[in-house]
Amino acid sequence: MEDMYKLLEYTDSVNELLARYGVKFGIYKNNTFKEQLFPFDSIPRIIKADEFAVLEKGLKQRVVALNLFLKDIYSKKSIVKDGIVPEDFIFASSGYMPQMEGAFPVNDIYSHISGIDLVQSKDGGWYILEDNLRVPSGASYPMIARDLCRRSAPDVFANTAIEDNRNYADLLRRTMDNVNVGGHTVILTPGRYNAAYFEHSYLAERTGAHLVTNNALTVEDDKLYYLDASGKKERVGAVYRRISDEYLDPINFNSESLIGIPHIFDVFKKGNVAIINAPGNGVADDKGIYYFVPKMIKYYLGEEPILNNAPTYLPFYEEDMKYVLDNFDNLVLKDVAEAGGYGVVFGSKLSSTEKEDFINLLKSEPRRFIGQEVIDFKDLEILDDGNIVPRKADLRAFVLMADEPLVWRSGLTRYSRNPDSFIVNSSQGGGFKDTWVLSR
């Protein structure tokens, strides 16, 4: 594995190539849109074949259970009736969409593309931190970075048996084709000022799907059509939408949405188009519902969870509230409605006044927060100003539900550039690494 350090001398070259190919993310600062390069660190995260085999099995198990949960919640609600998940965590969740009641996505797949965030602790164990079942992003970055690293240092790849991660587009295409009900496949983007626009356009290029904004789609006679420049209308059979639920359809959801397609949800409900991922998945990736995922696995699959959650407490339960208050300084508190590294508070870092204010808020809105033990992440090496230094990092693994569950043998490894921070999000200055899964 020492070979991987040969990549160090190409770090600048690879970053220049990433800039050349416009590998950026958008960010709004002071109401102004800016495109930023996503810093790439050339030292990969390496996961051995047997270690990844366990992760793969566990990730499939988890996503299969989450899909069954979504189907159940929007139909029979057996898991609530059987007292496994309290109804407070379903119907009060901002991700729950009553409109999805009685809607049945093609092949019963709700979360076609799931981004599961994991961390590895110092003892080598893996913990699930978060499930992202709405519009998880990030696969495009390691995919293009691998391509550029192979150009830079071919001998490293000739001498190391690594799973080729550039097949993500094939897996995604297979996933989209599996639910396409007949017609074109499109990737629906809010437009170039979206933070993940690079990814939308790159995945369109690599999968051969058509990149569209809402202006190019229209609903007629309960079917969805693509408006060609020549004036022709072409049927659309699958929409990989990269806009959030509430903006998808101004007639059925947020009436103020200017980026949605009126009546697309009606077309979906009639089974005349697949929406990838299905609306309403937020009820299953809420940070509060995360606590119940191991219970879901047992309930739906009759299996023990292969992968562990980070130890989590729900102040909603009296016993857990007591634990959170007694151990406040040792826990990280997360607002279930926030994402992107926001709404995360480390108990130990609050002043006494801040702590008091936070506890009052926690007591008044216990459903809004979860408490988690702070996992001492295993540090990964990064190159910082010419020196190799340790930094916190997580891993976003991608699970795709096609004709069978597929785990992409790679992932987005994000790291914090700040030595004192656990926050790895790109929007907060983090960088990324390739993830090598060894093939033997």
Q: Smallest gap, in angstroms, from Cβ of residue 207 to another protein?
A: 9
Contact between residue 163 and residue 102 where contact means Cβ atoms under 8 Å apart? no
Tell the smallest beta-carbon distance from residue 220 to another protein (Å): 17
Q: Residues 1, 19, 54, 389: which binds another protein (CB under 8 A)?
A: 19
211 touches another protein (CB under 8 A): yes
**Which residue in the set 1, 21, 154, 271 belongs to the binding site for another protein (CB under 8 A)?**
21
Residue 238 interacts with another protein (CB under 8 A): yes or no: no
CA distance 279 to 282: 8
The smaller minimum CB distance to another protein, of residues 230 and 352, is found at 230
Question: 47-78 in b/e burial notation, b at 16+ Cβ within 10 A?
Answer: beeeebeebbebbbbbbbbbbbbbbbbbeeee
99 binds another protein (CB under 8 A): no
Q: Strands, DSSP E only, in 8-125?
A: 24-29, 32-37, 40-47, 113-120
**Closer to another protein by Cβ: residue 107 or 215:** 215
User: Is position 230 an interface residue for another protein (rule: CB under 8 A)?
Assistant: yes
Stretch that binds another protein, among 19-27, 123-131, 281-289, 396-404 (CB under 8 A): 19-27
Q: 193 or 342: whose CB is closer to another protein? A: 193
Contact call for residue 22 and another protein (CB under 8 A): yes
Footprint of another protein on 164-193 (CB under 8 A)? 184, 191-192
User: Is residue 1 near another protein by the rule CB under 8 A?
Assistant: no
Sole binder of another protein in the list 78, 94, 107, 215 (CB under 8 A): 215
Indicate which single residue of 229, 256, 386, 420 sits in contact with another protein (rule: CB under 8 A): 229
Q: Is 27 in the site for another protein (CB under 8 A)?
A: no
Residue in 135, 102, 107, 85 with CA at minimum distance from that of residue 396:
135
Please give the residues from 301 up to 320 whose contact with another protein meets the rule CB under 8 A. none
CB-CB contact of 336 with 420 (8 Å): no
Report the residue number, 12 or 303, with the smaller CB distance to another protein. Answer: 12
Footprint on residues 403-422 left by another protein (CB under 8 A): none
What DSSP letter does each residue of 92-126 carry, written as one string? TSTT--GGGTT---GGG-S-SEEEEEEEEBTTS-E
Cα separation, 160 vs 381, whole angstroms: 19
Interface with another protein, residue 258, by CB under 8 A: no
Residues 6+ apart with CB under 8 A from 88: 316, 367
* Phi, psi torsion values for 244, nearest 5 degrees: -75, 160
**Per-residue DSSP letter, 414:** E
> What is the nearest approach in angstroms of another protein to the Cβ of residue 184?
7
Q: Which of residues 141-160 bind another protein (CB under 8 A)?
A: 144
264 near another protein (CB under 8 A): no
Q: Which of 14, 73, 79, 212 binds another protein (CB under 8 A)?
A: 212
Instruction: Work out whether 29 is an interface residue with another protein (CB under 8 A).
Output: no
Q: How far is the CB of 189 from another protein (least distance, A)?
A: 9
66 and 131 Cβ atoms separated by less than 8 Å: yes
CA–CA separation, 106 vs 187, rounded Å?
Answer: 17
Residue type, 403: D
By CB atoms closer than 10 A (0-12, 13-18, 19+), residue 217 is buried
Determine what percent of the chain falls in helix, strand and coil, rounding each to the nearest 5: 40, 25, 35
**C-beta closer to another protein: residue 67 or 189:** 189
Contacts of residue 54, defined as CB under 8 A and 6 or more positions apart, other chains included, come to 306
Choice between 66 and 204, CB closer to another protein: 204
Q: How far is the CB of 236 from another protein (least distance, A)?
A: 10
CB 58 within 8 A of CB 308: no
The residue among 239 and 399 lying less far from another protein, judged by its C-beta, is 239
Q: Which residues inside 190-209 make contact with another protein, applying CB under 8 A? A: 191-192, 197, 201-202, 204-205, 209
Cα–Cα nearest to 14, from 147, 125, 122: 147
393 sits near another protein (criterion: CB under 8 A) = no
Binding site for another protein (CB under 8 A): 19-22, 144, 184, 191-192, 197, 201-202, 204-205, 209-213, 215-216, 226-230, 232, 234
